[in-house]
Chains A and B, each alone.
Chain A
């Protein structure tokens, strides 16, 4: 029986195997691991989050590979990978640190993003709630609506982990919320002026004192709080919710401004039946109003040929209706108010009683 391979052949095979397998030092595993790490880096979006660091990493990876190739080109016995292995180990250490940095950075961005979004939602909700208390809400609601749209966009981008683009949407949302806050402050800024507050407080106190000293009935209307309180002999006997016009929080200056006047008035006529259920006509404009009108006209603040206006009433028809400057009430409440009212009954209309009420406290927060 003849051997399948001769002795020479066996020797040759042995030599080849020895040359390739036994005496050839293996390529360090770090070379392959670095490749895997490169892939992990790419997947985490390294070129976006740390482009310069990644360029350096890739440069070193390429150098390392070139060195491996150069070693491989040598005859097996002369290959030496020790220095290359050290280089790759250092590269792996740096690469892992970079990977960790990007992951942390992404996690931090996600958290920041979510915190910003939550804050924005809270701000939108808070301002929206406030818009329920006054009617001049058009510009405020417009900006809130835009902010909500931006928030929705940001939410979609968050799902896709597109934090940078999402962050821009949030920034736009924040811009609109700021605009809404400014619009609110614009409408209500005078409610923060200490002079105005002191004046309203004085009027309120004078009216209550008048009621107490004469035993009479006085109606105190606080516009910001949306409240009409009946005082009898200086004691509050009933409080009712009211509605105002579109620009009800402003002080009435001229006909058509849809503002509700502020001042100390009297009921001049009672209407048991009117377009708005029952009505109580007050003596707007009084002397103070006429004076203010003349001054405003001189300053060019009165548009066109607008007059000072009139026919300001407390009437029924519902507190949710937008009046043209009157004080609107629910019919059942109007019944009670109407019964208390006499021609000559004092009606004091003020902006707000005190700074302590919730809405003003919110505004003060904005101002700060």
Chain B
């Protein structure tokens, strides 16, 4: 009787071991679906690094599975733990995304403000620049440059209205750079008149 019991336990143990040797296909599919969901929610735009990390972690888990698959005695425990962690991280990222999108929006609005300030500063400088000998032609050209940047400013709002906050940030940065360049050149024209040596 005792022998039979021992055998049954042993058979069960082997069955458990063999069952553990099965690939965690369902878990993989769940993790993939979770990552896909996070991506669709905007993670690839608004949480680029975290999204790349998730992707990398999934790849590492799949590599682990592939490595185990080549072995006679397969152990998928580590891979399962890795997948479980990716799933938790994906869920956490998804939960954090609205805040990240809001932060991107706020940054875009802030950069829009900076671009506005930059344009205003360049305009003020241009207005007060002495249009005398040696500057009039340069200033006329710079006025055209500034008008171009001013016209492009409306594009930031369009991107914000379209909820494309990263595009809005990029546009604002480009316009700020353009405004700064105009201001720098206006200053150079003013210095030219004043005879300031640099």
Interface size on B, residues (CB 8 A): 50
B155 to chain A: closest residue by CB: A149
Which A residues are CB-close (under 8 A) to B140?
A: 135, 137-138, 246, 322
Q: A residues engaging B (CB < 8 A)?
A: 4-6, 8-9, 12-13, 16-17, 20-21, 29, 32-33, 35-36, 39, 43, 65, 131-132, 135, 137-146, 148-150, 152-153, 156-157, 160, 165, 176, 243, 246, 317-318, 320-322
Q: List 5 A-B contacts (CB under 8 A).
A: A8-B3, A32-B69, A131-B141, A144-B145, A145-B178
Contacts of B162 in A (CB 8 A): none
Taking a contact as CB atoms under 8 Å apart, the answer to whether A146 and B134 are in contact is: no
- Which of the residues A29, A39, A160, A318 comes within 8 Å of B69, measured between beta carbons? A29
Report the Cα distance A142→B182, complex, angstroms.
12
Contact assessment for B170 and A153 in the assembled complex, using a CB-CB cutoff below 8 Å: yes
- The reply to whether B167 and A165 form a contact with Cβ atoms under 8 Å apart is yes
**Chief secondary structure at chain A's binding surface:** helix
The 8 Å CB contact of B148, one of A16, A21, A36, A142, is A142
Per DSSP, are chain B's interface residues mostly helix, strand or loop, or mixed? helix
Chain B window 43-66, contacts with chain A (Cβ cutoff 8 Å), 1 for yes, 0 for no: 000001000000100110011011
Chain A residues with CB below 8 A from B174, complex form: 149-150, 152-153, 156
Shortest CB distance A42–B (Å): 8
Asked whether, in the complex, the Cβ of B7 is within 8 Å of the Cβ of A149, the reply is no
Task: Tell yes or no: B75 within 8 A of A by CB.
Answer: no
List residues of chain B with CB within 8 A of the CB of A43: 55, 59
Cβ of B173 and Cβ of A145 under 8 Å apart?
no
Pairs of residues from A and B, 5 with the lowest C-beta to C-beta distance, nearest first? A145-B148, A141-B144, A318-B133, A9-B7, A152-B174
A354: min CB distance to chain B, Å: 24
B177→A12 contact, CB < 8 A: no
Query: Contact between B170 and A138 (Cβ–Cβ < 8 Å)?
Result: no
Interface residues of B (CB under 8 A from A): 3, 6-7, 10-11, 14-15, 18, 23, 25, 28, 48, 55, 58-59, 62-63, 65-66, 69-70, 72, 131-138, 140-149, 151-152, 167, 170-171, 173-175, 177-178
Query: Distance (Å) between the CB of A222 and the closest chain B CB?
Result: 18
A145 and B147 contacting across the interface, CB-CB below 8 Å: yes
Decide: B14 and A13 in contact? CB cutoff 8 A: yes
CA distance A35 to B28 in the complex (A): 10
Q: How far is the CB of A69 from chain B (nearest CB, A)?
A: 9
Chain A residue with the shortest CB-CB distance to B65: A32
- Pairwise interchain contact B148-A320, C-beta atoms closer than 8 A: no
- Chain A residues near B137: list those with CB within 8 A: 135, 243, 320-322
Distance, CA A150 to CA B132, complexed state (A): 33
User: Which of B23, B65, B66, B151 is close to A146, meaning CB atoms less than 8 Å apart?
Assistant: B151
Cβ contact within 8 Å between B7 and A143: no
Q: How far is it, in angstroms, between the C-alpha of A321 and the C-alpha of B175 when the chains are bound?
A: 29
Given contacts A13-B14, A32-B69, A36-B66, contact A152 B138 (CB under 8 A): no
Which B residues are in CB contact (< 8 Å) with A65?
25
B168 vs chain A, min Cβ distance (A) = 11
**What's the minimum C-beta distance from B138 to chain A, rounded to whole angstroms?**
7
B89 to chain A, nearest CB (A): 17
A39-B62, A144-B144 are known; give 17 further A-B pairs, CB within 8 A.
A5-B3, A5-B6, A8-B7, A13-B10, A16-B11, A35-B62, A135-B137, A138-B143, A141-B145, A144-B148, A145-B149, A145-B178, A148-B148, A321-B133, A322-B131, A322-B137, A322-B140
Q: Once bound together, how far apart are the Cα atoms of A9 and B145, in whole Å?
A: 90
Given the known interface contacts A8-B7, A321-B133, the answer about A20 and B18 at a Cβ–Cβ threshold of 8 Å is: yes
Q: Are B59 and A39 within 8 A (Cβ)?
A: yes
Shortest Cβ distance from B7 into A: residue: A9
Cβ–Cβ < 8 Å partners of A33 in chain B? 66
Q: Output the least CB separation between A44 and chain B (Å).
A: 12
CB neighbours of B25 from chain A (8 A): 65
Bound complex: CA A132 to CA B48 (Å): 43
